[in-house]
Amino acid sequence: MSEIELSSSFELPCGQMIKNRFFKSAMSEQLADHDHNPSEGLNTLYSLWAQGGAAVVLSGNIMVDREHLGEPRNTVLDDHSNLEKYQAWVQAASANDTRFWAQLNHPGKQSPKFLQKLPVAPSAIALEGSLQLNFNKPRALKEDEIWQVIAQFANSAALAKQVGFQGVQIHAAHGYLISQFLSPRHNKRDDQRGGPLENRMRFLLEIYRAIRKEVGDNFPVAVKLNSADFMNGGFSEGDSITVAQALAKEGIDLIEVSGGSYEVPAMADGIQKESSKKREAYFLEYAKELRQSVDSPVVLTGGFRSASAMNDALAEEACDLIGIARPLAVEPDLPNKAMADNGYTIHLRPLSTGIKKLDEMVLLNMSWYEAQFDRIAKGQSPKANLNEWYAAWKVFKNLGVYAFKKRRA
């Protein structure tokens, strides 16, 4: 057992010091302007999170290619971006000695029909079941296109450093493009990028190397990795450990543990294993194993609600940092509160309009949180008892009837 406290500082392999053990995980905000640049509202939201006490605040996923969005109001960081708007965002989010990092992503086939006619993926395999109503079948990327995507990640990382972000995270989890390459279920290529894990992880390693080349050794480069995708014939915990070890060998600064995809949303609901149900943090047992297997620091994300569970995870050496997402939408100063009181806990009620199909159609589990971001962006306080029908109505209003019908289940 270790005696590390939530308030203890931490040094990353690249030398960056962070002031405590709280890591605000990525949450796509849906607050970019129409050109996919950060808005004033985003600045307001992030200055609140900076004051809330987390050592590292991660942005919601920023897309590396404006032709491939995961959601309509994603931010995009590329050569067409307004860098001054990015600088203003960084300035707001870096107050209070907060390290503001950019999460970089490409959605691959997890881009809904109303945004993407022809999504791309490692192989032309559609998403499963009812998701097919809302997502088009992708086409397989060609080798030269894959190198373009790698260059896009590297370019976005270079721009992130240029505008003042203090780190970047590669989103290799949750079923997006990189995670599609890692999965033997989604990647059926017969070239050097398919088949054995060594081939399936090539894309991620090449992205990491290309980014490192751009940002240098003293700049944090992290990854968000699935513990597993929880699908038959999919990305397993054994695969995940091997990928983490390869990244650790290359010098990754931080590995954030999550799990699942749109097909099996374990990142939001946890997993049904008996050993895991007893634990507040969904992927705690896996994180413990990972931490024994790599020298790189580990962040564990998903399910943390009480200061005691967070302290226990640190004491059991399951992780070095505590990843928190949804609780920060209703309690932006959770880190300060949890550091001050070991009895602190937050209860997030299950969300439903009472109509399951509608909940799925408007992605209530995300849109309710996005409605909180929208409130904060307008200078209002978050509202824990915000009505689910209001969040559903906002989706309808923002996307219009067509998109409402088509939004992913």
Ligand X SMILES: Cc1cc2nc3c(=O)[nH]c(=O)nc-3n(C[C@H](O)[C@H](O)[C@H](O)COP(=O)(O)O)c2cc1C
d(CA 193, CA 321): 32
Pick the closer one to ligand X by CB: 285 or 370: 370
d(CA 69, CA 75): 9
Piece of 25-33, 134-142, 233-241, 382-390 that binds ligand X (CB under 6 A)? 25-33
In angstroms, give the least distance from the CB of 107 to ligand X. 10
Piece of 6-14, 94-102, 307-315, 364-372 that binds ligand X (CB under 6 A)? 364-372
Where in 269-401 does DSSP place strands (E)? 298-301, 321-324
Comparing CA positions, the residue from 263, 272, 316, 226 lying closest to residue 4 is: 316
Q: Binding-site residue total for ligand X (CB under 6 A)?
A: 25
In angstroms, give the least distance from the CB of 249 to ligand X. 23
Question: In sequence order, what DSSP letters do the residues of 71-113 get, joined into one string?
Answer: STT-EE-STTS-HHHHHHHHHHHTTTTPEEEEEEE--TT-S-T
Which residue reads 């209003």 in tokens?
397
Where in 205-312 does DSSP place strands (E)? 221-226, 254-258, 298-301
Pick the closer one to ligand X by CB: 218 or 272: 272
In angstroms, give the least distance from the CB of 304 to ligand X. 6
Q: What DSSP state is assigned to residue 38?
A: B
Q: Which one-letter amino acid corresponds to residue 169? A: Q
CA atoms within 13 A on the CB side of 170: 32
- What is the pairing mode between strands 321-324 and 298-301? parallel
Q: Does 331 bind ligand X (CB under 6 A)?
A: no
d(CA 169, CA 243): 16
In angstroms, give the least distance from the CB of 144 to ligand X. 28
In angstroms, give the least distance from the CB of 267 to ligand X. 4
In angstroms, give the least distance from the CB of 326 to ligand X. 3
Q: Return the SS3 of 63.
A: strand
Piece of 9-17, 169-177, 183-191, 228-236 that binds ligand X (CB under 6 A)? 169-177
Q: Does 103 bind ligand X (CB under 6 A)?
A: yes
Q: Does 325 bind ligand X (CB under 6 A)?
A: yes
Nearby residues of 361 by Cβ (< 8 Å), 6 or more positions away = 404, 405, 407, 409
Element (H or E) spanning 47, and its range? Answer: helix 40-51
d(CA 170, CA 116): 22
Pick the closer one to ligand X by CB: 194 or 279: 279
d(CA 382, CA 376): 6
**Inter-residue contact 30 to 71 (CB < 8 Å):** yes
Piece of 47-55, 182-190, 272-280, 322-330 that binds ligand X (CB under 6 A)? 322-330
What is the per-residue binding string for ligand X in 256-285, x denoting contact by CB under 6 A?
--x--------xx-----------------
d(CA 50, CA 191): 45
Q: Does 298 bind ligand X (CB under 6 A)?
A: no
Pick the closer one to ligand X by CB: 28 or 81: 28
Pick the closer one to ligand X by CB: 173 or 182: 173
Element (H or E) spanning 169, and its range? Answer: strand 168-172
What phi and psi values does residue 55 have, to the nearest 5 degrees?
-70, -45
Residue of 370, 374, 392, 408 that binds ligand X (CB under 6 A): 370
What phi and psi values does residue 25 have, to the nearest 5 degrees?
-75, 165
Pick the closer one to ligand X by CB: 108 or 303: 303
Residue of 61, 81, 240, 336 that binds ligand X (CB under 6 A): 61
In angstroms, give the least distance from the CB of 62 to ligand X. 9
Residue of 99, 193, 326, 408 that binds ligand X (CB under 6 A): 326
Residue of 6, 14, 18, 27 that binds ligand X (CB under 6 A): 27
CA–CA distance from 269 to each of 85, 252, 280, 282 (Å)?
35, 28, 11, 8
Q: Does 301 bind ligand X (CB under 6 A)?
A: yes
What is the per-residue binding string for ligand X in 191-230, x denoting contact by CB under 6 A?
---------------------------------x------
In angstroms, give the least distance from the CB of 305 to ligand X. 8
In angstroms, give the least distance from the CB of 195 to ligand X. 27
Residues between 105 and 164 with contacts to ligand X, criterion CB under 6 A: none
Q: Which one-letter amino acid corresponds to residue 52? A: G
Which residues contact ligand X (rule: CB under 6 A)?
25-28, 60-61, 103, 171, 173-174, 224, 258, 267-268, 301-304, 324-327, 366, 369-370
